[in-house]
Structure 1
């Protein structure tokens, strides 16, 4: 079966996020009452697997091996369909 999976990658909370800071500053200048903005990436993929749990496991393995840098980033996986 094919599952649609998203991997969300963000900078580690304890690290500075220059992109997030820039976006936060711009949003504030536009009048939006925001704080704590973090900028990351979303990787969406279709995964062939016998179950949703296996699709999630495979996507997490891909994130650990390629999609996220564990020194500076964290990730989470969500199976959409």
Structure 2
């Protein structure tokens, strides 16, 4: 079993109203040093092992998990820790 960790963020230049709202709230709490906030998504997928695991995860990101028009993504694949 493998664990794929996927990070999805808005592309630079794409307006992030949620990030701006958090930045404004941080400023109102006195954290004036925060210059920008970008919101993203984090996912962990448990996937069956196979020779094309990375290609399959990339395909999942391209087809469903990320919107390639406005989002960038990156991922890692590693052995899943069995508990």
TM-score by length of 1: 0.83
Give, in whole Å, the separation in 2 of the partners of 1:26 and 1:77: 30
Give the alignment's Cα RMSD to 1 decimal.
Answer: 1.5
| Poorly superposed stretches of 4+, deviation over 6 Å | none
Find the counterpart in structure 2 of residue 6 from structure 1. 5
Question: Normalised by the size of structure 2, how large is the TM-score?
Answer: 0.81
Kindly tell me the number of residue pairs found equivalent between the two proteins. 78
Q: Which has the larger helix fraction?
A: 1
Rg (Cα) greater in structure: 2
Structure 2 gap ranges (5+): none
Q: Which runs of 5 or more residues in structure 1 are unaligned?
A: none
